[in-house]
Structure 1
Amino acid sequence: MADSRRARRGGARLRAVALIGIDGSGKTTQAHRLAEALTAAGRPATYHRNASGRRWLGRLAQRLGRPDPQRLVGRNGVLAVESVLRWLAIAAALLTCLVTGRTAVMDRYSACQYASIRVHGGQRWERLARAGYRIFPAPQVTFLLTVDPAEAYRRIEQRGTDHESMGWLTAADTAYRTLPEYAGFVVVDAGGSPEEVSRRIRAHLAEWLPGDPSRADDEPPRAGATPATGWRPTPVRR
């Protein structure tokens, strides 16, 4: 966080911003909104969806008569497919950013893969993934969108395009908060309306969004801060 603030004071170009969090936290909506806001402010930005292919693999498993991807290719197969596909997506996004000079707004980043691996219980795979993802530079700002897993579940069921269990969502929430990178994330309460969440995100990027009316509406969130909602995450033993 300190590095990103020093960079902003020095007028550095905003190269990449990442939005991460559990399914149903609003990452895709906010990433699209942020790319549009930056572009409108004269800082051309492109949205990049760095998916792992888990949803696609789940649909494939169902078509082949299997209840889930693990029954199709096994846990190690799932982690291998996810890790490779997300690595390729991030590499393509960063290359595009380098060639075009546009800001890359990342819908998911490497931390999402580490969290997924932790939920699957693949500690060995996390070491391998970190070795492979190490070549990617950290985004100047990484927003962790936090939401009560019960609310995330409700949103996922409402959109009706996929399904996640409460157990998975709760475990994923814990996984993000136990990552060693957590202290450097900008934690944003994503439990409110999309407009409220957008204001909080833009307030933190006020240096790159001059004249944004959201600057007066919300204080920039602190890294590692607890979301300002009635929900409080269960304490985690590290």
Structure 2
Amino acid sequence: MTRAVLTHPRLVSLEGGEGAGKTTAIAAIRACLQARGHEVVLTREPGGTPLAERIRDLLLDPRGEKLEAETELLLMFAARAQHVRQVVRPALQRGAYVVSDRFTDSSYAYQGHGRGLDAEWIAELERRAVGLKPGLTLLLDLDVREGRARISGRDLWPDRIEREQDDFFERVRAGFRQRAAAEPERFRVVDAGRPPAEVGAAVDAALAAWLDGQA
């Protein structure tokens, strides 16, 4: 029997393209949740456990052998399966909020739209290897060229994905926006082209409104 994907109200994910400012947004999310007295577990994908971090290194190392799109997708889900079982589910079970810098929506955007892999295959992996969906996903939406300009002076050695061309990231952005349009009850889209303080305030307001709606 195929496992269902369950939406969990205390799982919050943050998505967006390169240079969208996720660090600022995560700080705002943590502050908002802690101000309400909640335990907050911050984590990231790919990564979050020692093994998943080693897989992350394989995925992002620009010096390694060429990764086929299918290999990239399966490694992403191998890391995610480990992450969900060792970090995400235990934290949720004890009542904490889990805030993840990227989750499965990134696979639909990057490996689905960006690499052209079948969305149904990704959905099947999501059902069988993950089984969880965030109750809230904050999408930091940013013009691709602006995002690339932001990271160009930050990373002296861009990772394997950061070295992709603009057309790849345009497809990724379109993938995120398509998912947000398809699930408006879960997604909140934030204009990440504004100054960091304004982005943080917008994230805080979106999260607070969502939390109040759950009460």
Instruction: Give the corresponding residue for 1:152.
Output: 147
Aligned-partner Cα distance in 1 for 2:178–2:167: 17
Q: How many residues align?
A: 189
CA contact under 8 A between 1:38 and 1:208: conserved in structure 2? no
Please, which of 182, 198, 201 is the counterpart of residue 200 of structure 2?
Answer: 198
Compute the displacement of 1:105 (Å): 0.9
C-alpha separation in 2, matches of 1:21 and 1:59: 17
TM-score normalized by the length of structure 2: 0.75
After superposition, give the CA deviation of every residue in 1:131-181 in whole Å (9 maximum; x if it has no partner).
232253332211111001011101221221523432222121112123376
Give yes or no for the alignment of 1:94 onto 2:88.
yes
Paired with 1:79 and 1:20, the residues of 2 have a C-alpha distance of 17
RMSD: 2.7
> SS in structure 2 opposite 1:47?
strand
Is the CA contact 2:24–2:200 (under 8 Å) kept in the aligned structure 1?
Answer: no
Cα offset, 1:41, TM superposition: 3.2
1:141 counterpart SS class = strand
Contact residue 180 and residue 189 of structure 2 kept, 8 A: no
Which runs of structure 2 are paired with 1:158-237 in the superposition (5 Å)? 158-160=153-155, 162=158, 163-164=162-163, 165-179=165-179, 182-184=182-184, 185-206=187-208
| Equivalent AA in structure 2 for residue 196 of structure 1 | E
* Contact 1:38 1:209 survives alignment (8 Å): no
Larger radius of gyration: 1
Separation in 2, partners of 1:138, 1:55: 21
**1:59 CA displacement:** 5.2
With over 3 angstroms needed to count, the CA separation of the structure-2 counterparts of 1:193 and 1:206, relative to structure 1, is same
The Cα shift of 1:101 comes to 1.5
Aligned structure 1 segments of 4 or more residues deviating by more than 4 angstroms: 52-55, 207-210
Question: In 2, distance between residues paired with 1:88 and 1:78?
Answer: 16
- Aligned-residue sequence identity (percent) comes to 26
Of structures 1 and 2, the one with the larger relative CO (CA 8 A, separation 6+) is: 2
What's 2:50 paired with?
Answer: none
Structure 1 spans left out of the alignment, 5+ residues: 1-12, 211-238
C-alpha displacement at 1:84, in angstroms? 1.8
TM-score of the two chains, using structure 1 as the length reference: 0.68
CA distance in structure 2 between the partners assigned to 1:180 and 1:190 by the alignment: 15
